[in-house]
């Protein structure tokens, strides 16, 4: 509280991955509530131009670019301002270490793990979009959250929905949690048609506008598999108490079923600004500035069981959770490489799950205990996944 104005002090914010889809939606809400927030740091991978635009508007203390190649251009563009420019993983960690009260973790992939853990170590509020942190290093990550007294708020729409209706005080009365899945753009496609899918088709999600990697994950349904692992760590639920149900309209964002037969759900338009605003305002509600949901215009909502045959990624993720140890780290890293190979036109859509499965079968399962162990397993899984021969290449 400011002693002179009597108004609350602005919340000090850091956005890791500010130039991405979740990052931009976060910036959008902040820009429309400028008096309530003070942005301390922004980070990006390569997109220095967008970082410059955001920095000129939000005047952070520091901006960090993961890829040092763009450092000079970024520095030159911000010359004459008070904004400090840093680069590389150390630069991202420096951004995460600044003294903000609230951090949006919206880097994509395991690349976000180190900087997000830096934020966790400060014991502040961490809004977590970067689900790969929990998939790759879930136990380690949740132990750090507990050890440092951080407040972890899920941004992923399903987990945010569950968070809103999950009675933490009566967890023993929760029968199961039910994650909804849109099913992605190929929900009704045959397996042979899915073999010819192009990257452009795979990133065109029917309901959500998202970054390329998560869009492909949604199309393979690996995204839902990753979300089972994410839910397991966030809510401490075993695999058998986490169900998946396909709901093509993406309006019911997830559900919690209690012993008495009650099922609580959170509904809303498919707009990430809603869960982001939930975490930005937390513990209070604030406007997300999104279009209201008109249920009468929708008329009806559909639900169906997922198809494990056309979407083998679901089985792979579930089995990695049950196997434990290094398996989730390997699954995540191999999937990141397989998605990159597909997006680069170097493998087919159906190769994604098979690259992940082969990588899992070729690596020993030595449970990682430290962050360095996780990074070593991650690097080895990337190496193996990158070398796996696929149909059309020379025989293995
Ligand atoms: P995106 O690709 O649009 O943006 C990713 C951000 O991370 C960008 O700012 C990019 O510059 C940065 N980045 C990429 N690679 C990096 C690296 N190696 N090092 C440092 N920074 C890097 O991704 P997105 O769709 O915004 O997703 C971000 C995270 O949020 C992902 O983990 C995703 O699964 C999760 N998520 C996204 C949505 C969504 O609607 N987009 C919904 C739920 C969860
Ligand atoms: Mg989700």
Residue range 238-256, pLDDT digits in tens: 999 999 999 999 999 999 9
Interval between CA 157 and ligand 2 midpoint (Å):
5
Residue 7 has pLDDT above 90, yes or no: no
The residue whose CB lies within 8 Å of the most ligand 1 atoms, and thus the one to mutate among 15, 19, 22, is: 22
pLDDT in tens, 45-63: 999 999 999 999 999 999 9
Burial of 189 (0-12, 13-18, 19+ CB in 10 A): middle
Among all ligands shown, which has an atom nearest to the Cα of 128? 1
Whether the predicted pLDDT of 222 surpasses 80? yes
- Whether residue 395 has pLDDT greater than 50: no
Tell me how far the alpha carbon of residue 158 lies from the centroid of ligand 2, in angstroms: 5
pLDDT confidence band for 22 (50 / 70 / 90): very high
Select from 247, 283, 242, 281 the least CA-distant residue to 266: 247
Q: Hey, which of 52, 214, 221 would you mutate to test ligand 1's pocket, going by the most ligand atoms within 8 Å of its Cβ? A: 214
pLDDT-derived band of residue 396, with 50, 70 and 90 as boundaries?
Answer: very low
Bridge partners of residue 37, in order along the sequence: 11
Q: What is the pLDDT of residues 332-374, one digit of tens each?
A: 999 999 999 999 999 999 999 999 999 999 999 999 999 999 9
Specify the range with the lowest mean pLDDT, choosing from 73-87, 273-287, 306-320, 378-392. Answer: 378-392
Model pTM score: 0.97
Pocket probe mutation, ligand 1, options 69, 106, 181, max atoms within 8 Å of Cβ: 106
Crossing angle between the packed helical segments 157-165 and 222-235, to the nearest 10 degrees: 30
Do 79 and 86 meet the contact criterion of CB atoms below 8 Å apart? no
Cβ–ligand 1 distance for 51 under 6 Å, the answer: no
- Kindly list the domain boundaries of the chain, sorted by start residue: 11-155, 159-303, 324-396
Q: What is the pLDDT of residue 390?
A: 82
Instruction: Judge if the beta carbon of residue 211 lies within 6 A of ligand 1.
Output: yes
Ligand 1 atom nearest to 212, measured from its CA: 2
Residues whose CB is less than 8 angstroms from the CB of residue 392 and which lie 6 or more positions away in sequence, other chains included:
none
Atom index in ligand 1 nearest the CA of residue 44 equals 11
What does the pLDDT read at residue 256? Answer: 99
pLDDT of residue 394: 43
- Does ligand 1 lie within 6 Å of residue 19's CB atom? yes
Residue 1 has pLDDT above 70, yes or no: no
Q: Considering the domain 11-155 in this protein, what is its CATH number?
A: 3.40.50.720
> What are 154's strand-pairing partners?
128
Average pLDDT over the chain reads 96
Nearest to 44 by CA among 16, 68, 69: 16
Starting from the CA of residue 26, give the closest ligand.
Answer: 1
Asked if residue 131 has its Cβ within 6 Å of ligand 1, the reply is: yes
Q: Kindly tell me if the per-residue pLDDT of 282 is higher than 80.
A: yes
Task: Name the residue of 44, 51, 134, 211 whose CB sits within 8 Å of the most ligand 1 atoms, as the mutation to test its pocket.
Answer: 211
Q: Which two tokens stand for residue 227?
A: 């979300």
- CB of 49 closer than 6 A to ligand 1? no
Question: How many whole angstroms separate alpha carbon 333 and alpha carbon 159?
Answer: 22
Asked whether 22 lines ligand 1 (CB < 6 A), one says yes
CA distance 7 to 392: 65
For residue 2, what pLDDT is reported? 67
Helical segments of the chain, H only: 21-31, 48-58, 71-77, 88-97, 113-121, 132-148, 157-165, 191-194, 199-203, 212-220, 222-235, 273-281, 295-298, 312-323, 327-343, 351-362, 371-387
Q: Is 357 in the pocket of ligand 1 (CB under 6 A)?
A: no
**By alpha-carbon position, which residue is closest to atom 42 of ligand 1?**
156
Query: Whose atoms come closest to the Cα of 127: which ligand?
Result: 1
218 lines ligand 1 (CB under 6 A): no
Centre of ligand 1 to C-alpha 23, Å, is 8
Query: Which CATH architecture does the domain made up of 324-396 adopt?
Result: Orthogonal Bundle (1.10)
Give the pLDDT confidence score for residue 136 in this predicted structure: 98
Whether residue 391 is predicted with pLDDT greater than 70 in this model: the reply is: no
Residue of minimum CA distance from atom 27 in ligand 1: 108
* Mutation pick for ligand 1 pocket among 16, 20, 155 (CB with most ligand atoms within 8 Å): 20
Q: Residue 115 CA: which ligand 1 atom is closest?
A: 20
- Lowest-pLDDT range of 144-148, 246-250, 313-317, 389-393: 389-393
Q: Which residues surround ligand 2, an ion (CB under 5 A)?
A: 156-158
Confidence band for 4, pLDDT divided at 50, 70 and 90: confident
């Amino acid at each position: 509280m400011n002693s002179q104005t009597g108004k609350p002090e602005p919340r000090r914010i850091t956005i890791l991955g500010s130039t991405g889809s979740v990052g931009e939606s976060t910036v959008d809400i902040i820009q429309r509530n400028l008096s309530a927030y003070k942005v301390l740091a922004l980070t990006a991978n390569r997109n220095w131009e967008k970082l410059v635009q955001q920095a000129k508007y939000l005047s952070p203390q520091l901006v960090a670019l993961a890829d040092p190649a763009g450092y000079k251009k970024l520095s030159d563009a911000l010359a004459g301002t008070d904004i400090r420019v840093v680069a590389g993983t150390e630069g991202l960690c420096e951004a995460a270490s600044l003294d903000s009260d609230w951090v949006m973790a919206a880097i994509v992939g395991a690349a976000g793990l180190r900087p997000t853990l830096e934020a966790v170590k400060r014991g502040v509020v961490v809004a977590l979009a970067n689900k790969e942190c929990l998939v790759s290093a879930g136990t380690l990550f949740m132990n750090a959250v507990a050890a440092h007294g951080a407040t972890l708020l899920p941004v992923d729409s399903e987990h945010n929905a569950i968070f809103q209706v999950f009675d933490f005080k009566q967890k023993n009365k929760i029968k199961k949690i039910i994650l909804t899945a849109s099913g992605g753009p190929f929900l009704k496609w045959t397996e042979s048609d899915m073999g010819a899918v192009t990257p452009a088709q795979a990133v065109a999600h029917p309901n959500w506008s998202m970054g390329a990697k998560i869009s492909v994950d949604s199309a393979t349904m690996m995204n839902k598999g990753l979300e089972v692992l994410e839910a397991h760590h966030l809510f401490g639920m075993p695999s058998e108490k986490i169900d998946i149900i396909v709901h093509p309209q993406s309006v019911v964002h997830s559900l919690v079923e209690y012993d008495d037969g009650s099922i609580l759900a959170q509904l809303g338009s498919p707009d990430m600004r809603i869960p982001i605003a939930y975490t930005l305002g937390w513990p209070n509600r604030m406007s997300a500035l999104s279009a209201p949901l008109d249920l009468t215009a929708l008329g009806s909502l559909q639900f169906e069981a997922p198809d494990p045959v056309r979407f083998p990624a679901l089985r792979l993720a579930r089995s990695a959770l049950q196997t434990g140890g290094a398996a989730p780290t390997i699954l995540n890293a191999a999937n990141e490489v397989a998605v990159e190979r597909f997006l680069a036109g170097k493998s087919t859509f159906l190769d994604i799950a098979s690259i992940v499965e082969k990588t899992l079968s070729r690596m020993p399962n030595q449970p990682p205990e430290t962050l360095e162990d996780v990074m070593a397993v991650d690097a080895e899984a990337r190496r193996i996944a990158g070398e796996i021969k696929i149909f059309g290449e020379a025989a293995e």
